[in-house]
Amino acid sequence: MSQEVLKYLQDNQQRLQDKLFEFLAIPSVSTDSAHKQDIHKAADFITTYLHDIGFENIEKQETGGHPLVYAEYNGAGSEAPTVLFYGHYDVQPADPLELWDSDPFKPEIRNERIFARGSSDDKGQVFMHLAVFEAYMKTEGKLPLNVKVCIEGEEEIGSENLYKILHEKKEQFQADFAVISDSGMVEKNQPTILYGLKGFTGIEITVNGPDHDLHSGMYGGAVRNPLMALSHILSSMKNEEEVVTVEGFYDGVEPLSDEERDLIDQVKGEDYVQATGVPETVSEKGYSAKEHTMARPTFEVNGMYGGYQGEGTKTIIPSSATAKITCRLVPGQDPERVQQLLEEHVKNVAPAGVKVEVKKEKLSAKAYKVDPDHALIKKAAASYTKAFGKETVYVRMGGSIPVVEWMEAIYQMPIVLLGFGTPDDRLHSPNESFPLDSFHKGMETLAYYWNEVNDK
Amino acid sequence: MSQEVLKYLQDNQQRLQDKLFEFLAIPSVSTDSAHKQDIHKAADFITTYLHDIGFENIEKQETGGHPLVYAEYNGAGSEAPTVLFYGHYDVQPADPLELWDSDPFKPEIRNERIFARGSSDDKGQVFMHLAVFEAYMKTEGKLPLNVKVCIEGEEEIGSENLYKILHEKKEQFQADFAVISDSGMVEKNQPTILYGLKGFTGIEITVNGPDHDLHSGMYGGAVRNPLMALSHILSSMKNEEEVVTVEGFYDGVEPLSDEERDLIDQVKGEDYVQATGVPETVSEKGYSAKEHTMARPTFEVNGMYGGYQGEGTKTIIPSSATAKITCRLVPGQDPERVQQLLEEHVKNVAPAGVKVEVKKEKLSAKAYKVDPDHALIKKAAASYTKAFGKETVYVRMGGSIPVVEWMEAIYQMPIVLLGFGTPDDRLHSPNESFPLDSFHKGMETLAYYWNEVNDK
């Protein structure tokens, strides 16, 4: 690689940042149908950019849901490897808006960070890839390897249509390996290779009681309160020692070896208390917070509601109550089976006097682990180190990227997780941000990596 | 009483109904500060009406909150008794609006019922009193007894300022007895005397965890989930047999005698399953649904919320969770003590890793029981029977009217609960309504009653 690529990135810093801000300003919230136009706007931004860089066969693929952007670069010749680059242009909702210090869709820089919804997850990281491709094309006139681009708009809502497309268009998306930048480093400027991710599944429980909200004086004592019933159901699913008490939940989970416990212990990781503001950490009985987060399955209530939520008092018995639950899974757990166990448990403990419905999260994913000694992983680690000037660490993490599991299952190809986020990025929360350092050194890492990969 | 009074009510049916509709159309929601102007509009409607009828000393009293309408009629002479007529012009919020079949503040008649928020609770019943006073004045030129009017605007939010005023202006409000029409009959057209009401208290529990919503993959396993913690707390307060498990909650509760159980059993009452749409009734272990509702204390979660409530999935650990709880109390229970017990219980069971706050409902009330053989009660029963052509039944009910307990405590006067609502009125719910029969025969009942009361 000529130094021209790096110089180009440096010379064009301000212009690239402006262009990134333009991308981040599009509120491409996938879960909310009110943002349908914004979703298209974000997809169009990418297709236009790919066109300007010089990609070919650019398609805004209709998926039945939000469009998927596909493109190819075949100029490296048949001898060069082909990478499938995956990312997503959709973002989480920004609410509660009042907790943001600046507009989530008016990016701004404070304390050397870019504040905006999607700055870290994942529009910022997608943009870095496109900018590096641009730098290669504008300086060397070509990319060091062939590229297939797959940038979807439904990651935050389960990637349902991507799942179908990866199966249906297997040939189109087939590559020698995949690269995904939708994850993070254990701390700022600490090169990090993720070698394990958790799987994922979920259910939504709705308890239906009376057919309308009731006056608590007239009917209190005669009917089951749906919120109380739901509290009893949830309490029966995880105990106060943070152990999931759904029968069979832990079946097949690999015991955590002393070696792996040591490895986890060695990762500095973040100070959970400081990062989250909780009075103290709490984790599964017998495991540290770090062990539980990285290597043990979890069960979380993501949201719950029923009855009166306004100012003051409203003396009613609500007609219904709902809880949204997701679990993060580890190797050995089958998501569909876990979902089945959760549903059976809920049905078994559902009390008299109410009707309980369980809606299964449509898409689930198994956990993922890759061999940290694979050549493509080693080259990624070396590129990281060159750009950041620091040894790379290897970790497992609590997050789930379903597409990783699917790509592995469908294409049997190695997947390299090159993430540049940091623990302070507040993904999915108000005030999401991404360090400028990650933005610039991350692009440098990618520039090195594409060069390394084709260096036999 | 001359038949002219009844004839007047009949001749003016349409005009009175139009005037009632005008009153019901004012969205005087007390809990929501957005409706401050409507609150004043409703109070002004009453003062104007009282002025037109011929009341004197009419005051829109400033309370620090919503105004209280006071007025006097002293034309019956010093020999005649004085009644304190209490009612409220404020209403519950109308949400969820989408569940109403017609606009809650555009009254309309369907199936011989007046549909509107407040039609039964309590604007409709307040209006009936004013219309009957009007009928007396326009026909006989005077009322059969002296009247003090007290119509407040904060009943649905706890009557906090009324409580202060009743203490501070004891002389102004003093009367020989009080009449309140803010309750119902056991079924449509079944004259009913309420001789017992429940007391009332409440708390709001907020569980604070992380200082922002967290990514469930990055932090799941390291922090306590506030919604799960709240579910555990609530589950520890009432068990699945509907028994409140807060220590000391039932202390002092009078055992339910076999006699009273028989009395309760004899009341036909409503079909709870049909009225509410629940699959089956559920009540405290050892008590029937009717017994629990009428004569045993209750504990209800009125609302609960935390985390993501929108469409689809958001994989977060919420930063907080809140539950609003109210209890209905029976004779022998002290509301402040119960509130204290609830708070202590919550503090005792609060798990590690979160901070739990308890906010106490400011106003509470003791339960109320009156002697069903009191002369004023007997006269009320006779008036009911005359108007409805049916024997009057005597019941205790699960609702609470805090002002009843306060008036009894402050003025030591008998309180007659002359209610005309029905079990199908859907108080506090979408599609609140009030039968036209109750409206017309109720006014007839009041016309008879004022005459009977002064008939020594």
Q: What are the domain boundaries of chain B?
A: 3-197+367-453, 200-253+297-360
Asked whether the domain spanning A200-260+283-360 has the same topology as the one spanning A3-197+367-453, the reply is no
Task: Give the residue-averaged pLDDT of B9-33.
Answer: 97
CB count, 10 Å around CB of A242?
25
Which of B100, B225, B304 should we substitute to test contact with A (largest number of A Cβ atoms within 10 Å)? B304
pLDDT score for A456: 58
Q: Which residues contact residue A102 at a Cβ distance below 8 angstroms, ignoring those fewer than 6 apart?
A: A108, A110, A115
How far is Cα A85 from Cα A151, in angstroms, rounded to an integer? 8
How far is Cα B132 from Cα B5, in angstroms, rounded to an integer? 8
Tell me the pLDDT tens digit for each residue of B229-275. 999 999 999 999 999 999 999 999 989 989 889 878 878 778 999 99
Q: Where does A3-197+367-453 sit in CATH, by number?
A: 3.40.630.10
How far is Cα B309 from Cα B97, in angstroms, rounded to an integer? 18
Judged by CB atoms closer than 8 Å, whether chains meet at B31 and A198 is answered as no
In one letter, which amino acid is A253? V
The torsion of the CA quartet A9, A12, A18, A20, rounded to 10 degrees, works out to -20
Cβ contact B323:A234 at 8 Å:
no
Burial class (CB in 10 A: 0-12, 13-18, 19+), A232: buried
How far is Cα B229 from Cα B246, in angstroms, rounded to an integer? 17
pLDDT score for A364: 82
- Chain B residues lying within 8 Å of A423, measured CB to CB: 218
Cβ contact A41:A28 at 8 Å:
yes
Nearest CA to CA, how far is A255 from chain B (Å)? 16
How far is Cα B116 from Cα B21, in angstroms, rounded to an integer? 9
Strand-pairing partners, residue A149, are: A71, A85
When mean pLDDT is compared across A39-48, B252-261, B272-281, B316-325, the lowest value belongs to: B252-261
Task: Give the residue-averaged pLDDT of A91-120.
Answer: 96
Any CB–CB contact under 8 A between B101 and chain A? Answer: no
Residue B250 corresponds to which tokens in the numbers above?
A: 């039932």
In one letter, which amino acid is B397? M
Residue B63 corresponds to which tokens in the numbers above?
A: 């309370």
- Chain B residues lying within 8 Å of A353, measured CB to CB: 278-282
The number of angstroms, rounded, from the C-alpha of B245 to the middle of its chain's C-alpha atoms is 27
Judged by CB atoms closer than 8 Å, whether chains meet at B313 and A326 is answered as yes
Judged by CB atoms closer than 8 Å, whether chains meet at A398 and B426 is answered as no
Task: Give the residue-averaged pLDDT of A144-161.
Answer: 95
The number of angstroms, rounded, from the C-alpha of A137 to the middle of its chain's C-alpha atoms is 29
Cβ contact B137:B53 at 8 Å:
yes
pLDDT score for B370: 82
Confidence band for B312, pLDDT divided at 50, 70 and 90:
confident
- Chain A residues lying within 8 Å of B220, measured CB to CB: 293, 298, 300, 328, 398
Q: Which residues contact residue A155 at a Cβ distance below 8 angstroms, ignoring those fewer than 6 apart?
A: A30, A88, A90, A122, A162, A182, A403
How far is Cα A136 from Cα A140, in angstroms, rounded to an integer? 5
Q: Residue with structure tokens 């017990």? A: B341
Any CB–CB contact under 8 A between B298 and chain A? Answer: yes
Judged by CB atoms closer than 8 Å, whether chains meet at B316 and A428 is answered as yes
Nearest CA to CA, how far is A234 from chain B (Å)? 7
pLDDT of B442 higher than 80: yes
Tell me the pLDDT tens digit for each residue of B367-412. 988 888 899 999 999 999 999 999 998 888 888 787 898 898 899 8
pLDDT of B19 higher than 80: yes
The class that CATH gives domain B200-253+297-360 is alpha beta
How far is Cα B364 from Cα B340, in angstroms, rounded to an integer? 12
Q: ipTM beyond 0.85?
A: no
Report which DSSP code applies to B254.
P
- Strand A177-180 with A415-417, pairing: parallel
Helix ranges (DSSP H) in A241-374: 258-266, 272-276, 289-295, 335-349
Query: Which of A82, A298, A54 lies closest to A200, judged by CA?
Result: A298
How far is Cα B187 from Cα B424, in angstroms, rounded to an integer? 8
Angle between helices A13-24 and A123-139 (to 10 degrees): 140
Confidence band for B30, pLDDT divided at 50, 70 and 90:
very high
How far is Cα A394 from Cα A382, in angstroms, rounded to an integer? 12
Which of A215, A303, A361 is opposite residue B428, by nearest beta carbon?
A: A215
SS3 letters for B158-195? CCHHHHHHHHHCHHHHCCCEEEECCCECCCCCCCEEEE
Judged by CB atoms closer than 8 Å, whether chains meet at A213 and B428 is answered as yes
Burial class (CB in 10 A: 0-12, 13-18, 19+), A449: buried
Which of A117, A207, A231, A355 should we substitute to test contact with B (largest number of B Cβ atoms within 10 Å)? A231
Nearest-5° angle of CA B92, CA B95, CA B101? 105
Tell me the pLDDT tens digit for each residue of B71-81. 999 999 999 99
- Chain A residues lying within 8 Å of B298, measured CB to CB: 216, 220-221
Task: Give the residue-averaged pLDDT of A318-332.
Answer: 96
Number of H helices, E strands in chain A: 15, 18
CB count, 10 Å around CB of B83?
27
Which phi-psi region, left, alpha or beta, contains residue B389 (left: φ > 0; alpha: ψ -120 to 50)?
left
Sign of CA dihedral B172, B156, B31, B151: negative
The number of angstroms, rounded, from the C-alpha of A24 to the middle of its chain's C-alpha atoms is 17
Any CB–CB contact under 8 A between A351 and chain B? Answer: yes
Cβ contact A118:A3 at 8 Å:
no
pLDDT of A82 higher than 70: yes
Task: Give the residue-averaged pLDDT of A235-257.
Answer: 96
How far is Cα B230 from Cα B233, in angstroms, rounded to an integer? 5
Task: Give the residue-averaged pLDDT of B87-115.
Answer: 96
Any CB–CB contact under 8 A between A323 and chain B? Answer: yes
Which CATH fold would you assign to the domain A200-260+283-360?
Alpha-Beta Plaits (3.30.70)
Nearest CA to CA, how far is A329 from chain B (Å)? 10
Which of B309, B313, B320, B422 should we substitute to test contact with A (largest number of A Cβ atoms within 10 Å)? B313
Judged by CB atoms closer than 8 Å, whether chains meet at A397 and B218 is answered as yes
How far is Cα B364 from Cα B199, in angstroms, rounded to an integer? 7
Which of B275, B307, B397 is opposite residue A303, by nearest beta carbon?
A: B307
Tell me the pLDDT tens digit for each residue of A369-419. 888 889 999 999 999 999 999 999 888 888 878 789 889 889 989 999 999
How far is Cα A49 from Cα A46, in angstroms, rounded to an integer? 5
Cβ contact B315:A302 at 8 Å:
yes
Any CB–CB contact under 8 A between B88 and chain A? Answer: no
CA of A356: how far to CAs of A13, A224, A322, A419, in Å? 55, 12, 10, 41
How far is Cα B91 from Cα B66, in angstroms, rounded to an integer? 12
Q: What percent of chain B has pLDDT over 90?
A: 82
CB count, 10 Å around CB of B64?
10
Any CB–CB contact under 8 A between B417 and chain A? Answer: no
Strand order in the sheet with B355-360: A355-360, A199-208, A320-329, A298-307, B298-307, B320-329, B199-208, B355-360
pLDDT score for B456: 58
Judged by CB atoms closer than 8 Å, whether chains meet at A282 and B223 is answered as yes
Any CB–CB contact under 8 A between B290 and chain A? Answer: yes
Cβ contact A162:A66 at 8 Å:
no
pLDDT score for B421: 96
Confidence band for A122, pLDDT divided at 50, 70 and 90:
very high
Query: Which DSSP string do the residues of B418-443 spell out, in sequence order?
Result: ---B-TTS-TTSTT-EEEHHHHHHHH
Residue A108 corresponds to which tokens in the numbers above?
A: 């701004």
Tell me the pLDDT tens digit for each residue of A12-32. 999 999 999 999 999 999 998
Query: Which of B135, B315, B348 lies closest to B236, judged by CA?
Result: B348
Report which DSSP code applies to A212.
S
- Residue A326: phi and psi, rounded to 5, are -130, 150
Looking at per-residue pLDDT, the higher value among B67 and A275 belongs to: B67
Number of H helices, E strands in chain B: 15, 18
pLDDT of A454 higher than 90: no
pLDDT score for A311: 82
Radius of gyration (C-alpha) of chain B in whole angstroms:
23
Query: Which of A452, A447, A401 lies closest to A199, judged by CA?
Result: A401
Report which DSSP code applies to B91.
B
- Chain B residues lying within 8 Å of A158, measured CB to CB: 312-313
Radius of gyration (C-alpha) of chain A in whole angstroms:
23
At A160 the three-state DSSP class reads: helix
- Strand B433-435 with B177-180, pairing: unpaired
A-B CB pairs within 8 A amount to 354
What is the rounded average pLDDT for all residues in chain B? 94
Tell me the pLDDT tens digit for each residue of B122-172. 999 999 999 999 999 999 999 999 999 999 999 999 898 999 999 999 999
- Strand A355-360 with A199-208, pairing: antiparallel
Any CB–CB contact under 8 A between B398 and chain A? Answer: yes
Strand-pairing partners, residue A393, are: A192
Strand-pairing partners, residue A421, are: A184
Report the length, in residues, of chain A: 456
